[in-house]
Structure 1
Amino acid sequence: MRRALYGLVAGLAYASVPQTGEAETHIIEMRGLEFIPAEIDVAVGDTVTWVNADVMPHTATASDGSWDSGTMEAGDEWSLVIETEGALDYVCAFHPTMTGVINAR
Structure 2
Amino acid sequence: MKAAMYGAAVAALLLGSAAAPSQAETIKVTIDRLVYAPAEIAAKVGDEIEWINKDALVHTATVEGGADVLLPAKKSGSLLLQEPGSFDYICRYHPNMKGHITVQP
Per the TM alignment, residue 55 of structure 1 is displaced from its structure 2 partner at its CA by 1.7
TM-score (norm 1): 0.84
Distance in structure 2 (CA, Å) of the matches to 1:87 and 1:75: 28
- For 1:42, the equivalent position in structure 2 comes to 43
More strand as a share of residues: 2
- Structure 2, unpaired ranges of 5+: none
Q: CA RMSD in A?
A: 2.0
Distance in structure 2 (CA, Å) of the matches to 1:61 and 1:18: 35
- For 1:65, the equivalent position in structure 2 comes to 65
Pairing 1:1-105 to 2, within 5 Å after superposition: 9-62=10-63, 64-70=64-70, 72-105=71-104
- Structure 1, unpaired ranges of 5+: none
**Partner secondary structure for residue 13 of structure 1:** helix
Alignment identity in percent? Answer: 36
Task: Count the aligned residue pairs.
Answer: 102
4+ residue runs of structure 1 moved beyond 3 angstroms?
4-11
TM-score (norm 2): 0.84
